[in-house]
Amino acid sequence: MDHWRSYVDLPALYVSCSTLNDIDMFSFSLFLPQSIPVGAKCEFCIRYLCDGKEYWDNNASANYMVECKTLDDDDDDVNLL
């Protein structure tokens, strides 16, 4: 929403029941304020710390992003989670 001028670290849980051998899966919740304006975008990336090493996933340098839309927007790219 502000191009990384502010950020927050959120905890995630490892999904141990993953059936994919070469992929680690995590679960997390991202809550945005109800006052977020339509059209606002929230970018995020993933940081993973393991055995003193730091790993990042930033969607191939594009960052992950959610965009605030109204429920009546007719957009094929909208997925309500």
Closest CA to 66 of 77, 55, 50, 51: 77
| Secondary element (H or E) of residue 41 | strand 41-44
Summary mean pLDDT of the chain: 83
* pLDDT of 22 strictly over 80: no
Closest CA to 64 of 24, 37, 30, 38: 30
Identify the pLDDT of residue 6: 87
CA 77, CA 54: separation in Å to the nearest integer?
Answer: 32
CA 69, CA 39: separation in Å to the nearest integer?
Answer: 6
